[in-house]
Structure 1
Amino acid sequence: MEEIIVIAHPLSGEGLSQASKVLQGKELERKFAANIGATLAQEPGIHSAQFGNAVGRPVIHGLGGPRVRIMEDRIDTLDVSVTSADHAVSIEPFIADRIEVLKGSSTLLYGSGAIGGVVDVHTGRIPHNLTDQPISGGIESRYNDNTQGNTTAAKVNGSIGQVAWHLDGTWKDGDDYEIPGFAESARLRALEAEEEGEDGEEEARGTLPGSAFDAKSYAGGLAYIADWGLIGASVSRSDAEYGLPGGHGHAEEEGGEEEAEGTPLLDMEQTRTDVELAIKDPFANFTSLNLRLGVNDYEHKEIEPSGEVGSVFTNKAWELRGELIYEQARWKGAFGLQHTDREFSAVGEEAFVPPVDTTDTGLFWVGEREFENFSLETGVRIGRVEHKPSVGPDQDFTPFATSIGLVIPFSDGWTLGLLADYSSRAPVAEELYSNGPHLVTNAFELGDPDLDSEKAANLSATLSYRADTWSLSATTYYTRFSDFIYEQSNGDIEDGLPVFIFQQEDATFAGVDLEVSARVAQWDNGELMLRGMFDWVDAEVDVSGNDNLPRIPPLRYGLGVETTFGLITASLDYLNVNRQNDVSQRELVTDSYNDLRAYVGMEIPVADGSLNLFVNGKNLTDDEQRYHTSFIKDFAPAPGRTIEAGVRFIF
């Protein structure tokens, strides 16, 4: 069996007690989407906090936002996507070599922002190997009939002597996407009719206003590779313009006048520099030393429908990460240091968070020891998070994490992973200092500067099986939170917007993920595969009355079939998403929906490469799909029926 190494974890060579998922190769190519959340949203245990086509952060086991750390080559994205649900993650999925997901707390390795999980996108922008030929790579172009959009992505690698180089670029755009009905949900329209009478405003239908986007990115990297290791650097640039669909409503200006309704535009630009130094066998008993530095200069402008710049968000940030890997006696482990420094600023009408400088420093150790019938994983981390707002006193927190896990292999490919861990998370600036109208989420947001650290005790078990004919991965988890931080409407109205406040209570999360696949038939030049998935999460907060937390994903199950016949691969996948009745105060029920997808591709050998022609269909039944994990699910459904056609050339 092929061993799957999770690069995001230094101990994964012998398997992990923690649930994980790796997307790479043809599987990843078929799941590419406009944003990282949509790329991963069909995976068990992972949803998307969709905000139009351009924006979608992953939600893991019901936890998202600042609890899921999204990284590019093991360094944080260093953007402002955790600040608000309408801010895009600056990573471009189409340039990914592989995407790794650690499901559940990963605070030992990556700090308190990973209390819910980690998504690590590996780009290869700093090459790690010399190529066998002077130049290799690929180019892909696809067309989307729903948005009349085009996507072109290219990636080229090569080497000259001991120097390896990399270039990549992506260009994509799309008009406002088509939807099967009204932009607003039936329940929201019924509420508005009750409040406004029969003379309500004409509703958008058939197309979602403000969902258009235009984005491009490009990058280049070099690395000197020798027997002792490597030293390399890369520079990337991203530019994007995208609409902000959904419930913008209107806030009241001074004097009681209302701002004009409309869909604003976000204009984003980012320049990022990464440096890496890797040394093999730096000291006795130590196998490698790896140092990575990421420096990011991010800015976006939120432009009102009138064309005026309403707000400007900037984030100047850098992160340094070092890992020293050792093997001694029967132990393998890593000592690590991580430091992040952010200078965040928001100025303008939607500057609901004051400028804040944040530093986050952590020291950690993780270790693994092999025994005769099992392996033991353990570790500890201590950190320091300091917030320095422009207004008010400084605040600091001391996050702590520890864990112990067992990996127990059985005969015939079965493995059981057991994990117990404790972790804590420092509140982010938005939870502490928010105080103002936020039109794109239709909320007046109020933070609480007296919030304490959030603590979590977790138990999980993962049973997996891998063989030639079938495979299975099943995870169950139970997490008990103390002082869980969440945002919820309190029923008040401020500046014409409902007030949402950040508060703390104890909470419990429990759930199950299941993924299974089996080869049911095989012939000379092909095979037939069946697959299935299931996930469910239950989340409750310790309060009297309604104890449901907002935006918790509903139960899902899916079935799929895939066949390969010569040069042709075809698949059909069905996903059922249940109705979400367990809603928090003033949150509307979300109806169930189906998602039927189909794929047909032909891979043709060409010279030293291959030419792949493909057609991909999504939401083929044209269902109204509203993601309960989305802040704007009652204002903005997901796209309707979509047919994508493309060509990919690998050389």
Structure 2
Amino acid sequence: MTTNNSIKRITYLLPWSAIALTHLTYAQTEMLDEIVVSGAQPHLAGSALEPYQAISNQVIKKERLQKQSATLGNALAGELGVHSNPFGGGASAPIIRGQEGVRIKILQNGLDVVDMSAISPDHAVAADTLLAEQVELVRGASTLLYSSASAAGVVNVVDKRIPTTVPEKGYEGEIFTRFDTASKESTGTVGVTFKLHPHIALRLEGLKRYSTHYQVPAFKSGGETIRYLPDSNNRSQVGTIGVSWIKNQSYLGVSYSERRDRYGLPGHNHKYDRCKSHVVDEAARPELGKGYLTPYPHLAEDTDIVFAHLDGCNASFDKDPSHSHDHPFGHDHDHSHGGPWVKLHSRRFDLRAQLDSPTAWLDKIKGSFSYADYIHYEYHSGQAGTDKFDTKDFIEREREKAAKNRGKAVGIYKNSGYNGKLEFYHQPVAGLSGVFGVQYSEYKTAILAPLGSGIKHQHHLVPNTHKQLSFFGVENYVMGNFIFEAGARVDKQQIPIKYDQQVLKAHKKQGDHEPDLSTHKEKAFSYLGSVEWLFHPNYRLGLTLSRNERLPTPMELYYHGQHLATNSFEHGNKNLRKESSDNVELGFAYQADKWDYKLSLYQNNFRNYIYNEELARYGNAFLRRYTQARAKFHGIEAELNFRPTPDYQVTLFGDYVRGRLFDLPEQYGQRFYQGYITYDEEGLIQASWEKQPYRIESITRNERDAPRVPPARLGMRLTGNLTEHISFFADYTYVFAQQKTASSLSIKPPKPLETSDFIDDDTGENLLLKDIDREKYNRTGTDVAELDELDKADFDSALEAIRLREENEKLPAKIEKIQEDPSRGHHLLNLGVNYQRQVGNVEYSAGFGINNVLNQRVYIHTSYLPYVPQMGRNYTLNFGIKF
């Protein structure tokens, strides 16, 4: 098919494009910057089919982002299908269709955002929405240009750090400031592009943000009610410089960006600081010949994980009240001085290029490369984890130790590396147009945890190098009223680890097994096909089928130790296999002058779904290990817009998602060993046990709800123009209660029996030694009758030890149910008014808004601090200038 024929077929889309552009004009006139899911503009920065977008894709423009939260998750939390996992005022990441973390790829201009946000909710995303031109929620075939992590979507933060056009008048820019009352936030951003030469442009960007502890309707802490959330303060600074050579549609540009953040960590329980988690059978290590588990516990097999418990705490956290609205942190929190905090430093270098029409069969070639060096430190607050149950000496000793550690790094998180991608956009061939390319990334990651005074460290995440090579392609074909799209991506992953052979040798004993130190290597193949039918100028129907394969990350494979942001001790699983999902999405849309609506139905069927299984709970502390099961997620998203006049619009919207887990693996518990009697070198009788256990207790687990699934939402939005320059909005959302919560079964050892439990109260006889067949236990051939009285006593003591252990092993393990807490529903009402005017080439705007007008206690079910209220009533004021 020729290029001209392709253009003719695309003309069928023009009515949709015109309607979308009209809708965009309304949004610009209203100055409310509603999300525009359009057929023409705005388009996805890396789309393979730029003139047209899928029904469920979303583009959030700069003007809307500037009125939202400064953290990415909260900024996107009002969009269809998107929730957030906020952690105080410094960090939040998006949850899309029930998926989060490593399943939601977060990109900056099409390449990875290099940070540590995917492994913990208290880690900030190192991409700033306040400097972004737009944030794209990408679904469909275009996701395979970036990642195969999940069908739920990809988040791409697009900015202007590398100019792609030269300002006609020699310069262009924008200045934006924002203030609020709930957190005393003061934010300022500036971005200016200069024309240095007819073909050279320079870009300068900067951001500075300061906020204190944010105000809440009520918060109970330390036996009193306060009106703010302790340790929710934040400071951020970002600076960027970029320069480009530009000619027509071709360009070559570089940029350098530096970011510094400091923010508090709410709710840290210092009682956990001294705790160590034991998930590997300590006693069995010598018998099983696995001494290497001491320095490298991530090498444990499933059957090595027994009776997970906490040691060395010397704290009464088991007596803490459960998390509740009366005890939001689950412990008595001292807010008389600041808690722990994070200092973040990120440096990033970017290079991007585009070569327009390099050959007769290529439309363009795009290349991009980034190098980033990220590090953040988590600092000790100087508080001690003590309470009323501790002795005065213990409290004094712990407070003295804590005071010495104040300001010392108790966690160091490092991630650095590079990512490069080359894309080839080809001219139509037999009616097919699209893009294919190659991508390679290599990151070095490590998490260091304190050992002793905080000067020396051990690794919670063993230092590793994460390498991934990918090939991808996306093609589309227009036939009559149909748009067909198909894509595929192949990922090849390696995670080499350098093991210290001297350390391994020091922990090795004669006869030990050799550990498996081979490099983790695996491949994944993902593919997708979709069709959209434009059966009427105002209607379209879309169907997408896909199979995604996701490779496990180093965090899921190798993490071992404290993870206090989630009140847990987490452990990786080196045996995790790649995760796969079969996905289907059906979309329907209508768009006209007065009405438009869209509806999306989806289902994701996972095999080997990776999640964090709860092994045990002690008070509010959890022990978790990554494991796999089958899972199914399904949901619905809908939006309806009605415009009674060109100046007013009413919007109804809602979303719902449900997740379930199936075919959960067995959980291992108590080991059982065969007992017998031996003689030591001095001829003394001793009780011994076989080196290998003859039975390992386990429990099976039934299907259950997936953990931390977002609740359903319904809402209504009213927007309109009061005058030529003044517009307003009113936005109401009801978030339903979430009662469908996850549960887990935990194996705990029974209370050990003692000899006194077997003494007959009437006769004083030891029932353990009654009717004993001594010959059964005497495997040395010695005649019991030849033993003197002393030896017989020793023999009886050894028999008693064997029988006591046997009786203990007959006791059933204690099975404890761990239930995720439900959350209650809440109302959220936001109001705002905006003034906008253009004088000459300068555009001025001023906005005033009230968020959470009802001052509701808003609790987020998907947060790891679900009993910590979000910001209360908040008055905001912003000013902007574009020139």
1:346 counterpart residue number: 447
Question: Identity across aligned pairs (percent)?
Answer: 25
1:341–1:359 CA contact under 8 A, matched in 2:
yes
Q: Letter of the aligned partner of 1:281 in structure 2?
A: S
Which deviates more, 170-179 or 105-114?
A: 105-114
Question: What's the secondary structure of 2:266's corresponding residue?
Answer: coil
State the 1:15 CA deviation.
2.7
State the 1:9 CA deviation.
4.1
2:627 counterpart residue number: 503
Q: Let me know the Cα RMSD of the aligned residues.
A: 2.1
2:660 counterpart residue number: 540
Deviations 1:427-455 (A, max 9, x none): 11111112101122110111111111100
Distance 1:57 1:105, change over 3 A: farther
Q: Letter of the aligned partner of 2:556 in structure 1?
A: E
**Aligned mate of 2:874, from 630, 633, 642:** 642
CA distance in 2, matches of 1:414, 1:284: 36
2:106–2:154 CA contact under 8 A, matched in 1:
yes
1:518 counterpart residue number: 642
> Normalised by the size of structure 2, how large is the TM-score?
0.69
Question: What's the secondary structure of 1:33's corresponding residue?
Answer: coil
State the 1:467 CA deviation.
2.9
Deviations 1:2-59 (A, max 9, x none): 21353344323343446210111544444x3211111111001011111112211111
CA distance in 2, matches of 1:645, 1:465: 36
Distance 1:59 1:293, change over 3 A: same
**Aligned mate of 1:386, from 488, 491, 494:** 494
State the 1:111 CA deviation.
2.4
Decide which structure has greater helix share.
2
State the 1:245 CA deviation.
1.2
Question: What's the secondary structure of 1:398's corresponding residue?
Answer: strand
Deviations 1:303-355 (A, max 9, x none): 01021111111111111011100122311011111111100121123953222
Which deviates more, 389-398 or 119-128?
A: 389-398
Q: Letter of the aligned partner of 1:364 in structure 2?
A: F
CA distance in 1, matches of 2:225, 2:380: 19
State the 1:516 CA deviation.
2.0
Q: Letter of the aligned partner of 1:253 in structure 2?
A: R
CA distance in 1, matches of 2:85, 2:156: 17
Q: Letter of the aligned partner of 1:650 in structure 2?
A: K
1:163–1:223 CA contact under 8 A, matched in 2:
yes
1:559 counterpart residue number: 716
Question: What's the secondary structure of 2:704's corresponding residue?
Answer: coil
CA distance in 2, matches of 1:431, 1:157: 42
CA distance in 1, matches of 2:65, 2:120: 27
Question: What's the secondary structure of 1:313's corresponding residue?
Answer: strand
1:313 counterpart residue number: 413
**Aligned mate of 2:372, from 279, 290, 296:** 296
1:55–1:88 CA contact under 8 A, matched in 2:
yes
State the 1:115 CA deviation.
4.5
Question: What's the secondary structure of 1:56's corresponding residue?
Answer: coil
Deviations 1:541-577 (A, max 9, x none): 1145461111110000110111112210111000000
1:279 counterpart residue number: 355
Distance 1:114 1:4, change over 3 A: farther
- The aligned runs of 1:294-443 (5 Å cut-off) are 294-305=370-381, 306-327=406-427, 328-349=429-450, 351-391=459-499, 392-443=517-568
2:140–2:530 CA contact under 8 A, matched in 1:
no
CA distance in 2, matches of 1:314, 1:204: 38
Distance 1:205 1:640, change over 3 A: same
CA distance in 1, matches of 2:142, 2:580: 13
Gaps of 5+ in 2: 1-17, 22-39, 276-311, 318-332, 382-405, 451-457, 500-516, 664-700, 744-818
**Aligned mate of 1:454, from 557, 560, 579:** 579
1:72–1:120 CA contact under 8 A, matched in 2:
yes
State the 1:641 CA deviation.
1.1
Distance 1:264 1:567, change over 3 A: same
1:197 counterpart residue number: none
State the 1:253 CA deviation.
2.3
1:53 counterpart residue number: 89
1:193 counterpart residue number: none
Which deviates more, 254-263 or 77-86?
A: 254-263
State the 1:473 CA deviation.
2.1
CA distance in 1, matches of 2:70, 2:62: 18
Which deviates more, 540-549 or 380-389?
A: 540-549
2:730 counterpart residue number: 572
CA distance in 2, matches of 1:228, 1:18: 28
Distance 1:545 1:228, change over 3 A: closer
State the 1:646 CA deviation.
1.5
Q: Letter of the aligned partner of 1:624 in structure 2?
A: R
Distance 1:418 1:183, change over 3 A: farther
Distance 1:29 1:437, change over 3 A: closer
CA distance in 1, matches of 2:55, 2:414: 35
Distance 1:478 1:618, change over 3 A: same
Which deviates more, 107-116 or 211-220?
A: 107-116
1:17–1:416 CA contact under 8 A, matched in 2:
no
CA distance in 1, matches of 2:80, 2:408: 42
Q: Letter of the aligned partner of 1:357 in structure 2?
A: T
CA distance in 2, matches of 1:137, 1:593: 40
Structure whose alpha-carbon radius of gyration is higher: 2
Distance 1:518 1:17, change over 3 A: same
Question: What's the secondary structure of 1:250's corresponding residue?
Answer: helix
Q: Letter of the aligned partner of 2:432 in structure 1?
A: W
2:216–2:870 CA contact under 8 A, matched in 1:
yes
CA distance in 1, matches of 2:105, 2:851: 28
Deviations 1:95-142 (A, max 9, x none): 111111014786522223344311111101111112121111111111
CA distance in 2, matches of 1:183, 1:563: 40
Distance 1:25 1:355, change over 3 A: closer
2:140–2:544 CA contact under 8 A, matched in 1:
no
CA distance in 2, matches of 1:103, 1:627: 25
1:130 and 2:166 aligned: yes
- The aligned runs of 1:186-201 (5 Å cut-off) are none
State the 1:394 CA deviation.
2.0
CA distance in 2, matches of 1:558, 1:268: 37
Q: Letter of the aligned partner of 1:102 in structure 2?
A: V
1:83 counterpart residue number: 119
State the 1:615 CA deviation.
0.8
Question: What's the secondary structure of 2:119's corresponding residue?
Answer: coil
State the 1:202 CA deviation.
2.6
CA distance in 2, matches of 1:615, 1:579: 31
2:258 counterpart residue number: 237
1:194 counterpart residue number: none
State the 1:491 CA deviation.
2.3
Question: What's the secondary structure of 2:194's corresponding residue?
Answer: strand
CA distance in 2, matches of 1:137, 1:376: 40
State the 1:204 CA deviation.
6.2
- The aligned runs of 1:153-168 (5 Å cut-off) are 153-159=189-195, 160-168=197-205
Which deviates more, 543-552 or 616-625?
A: 543-552
Decide which structure has greater strand share.
1
Deviations 1:598-619 (A, max 9, x none): 1111112233112111112111
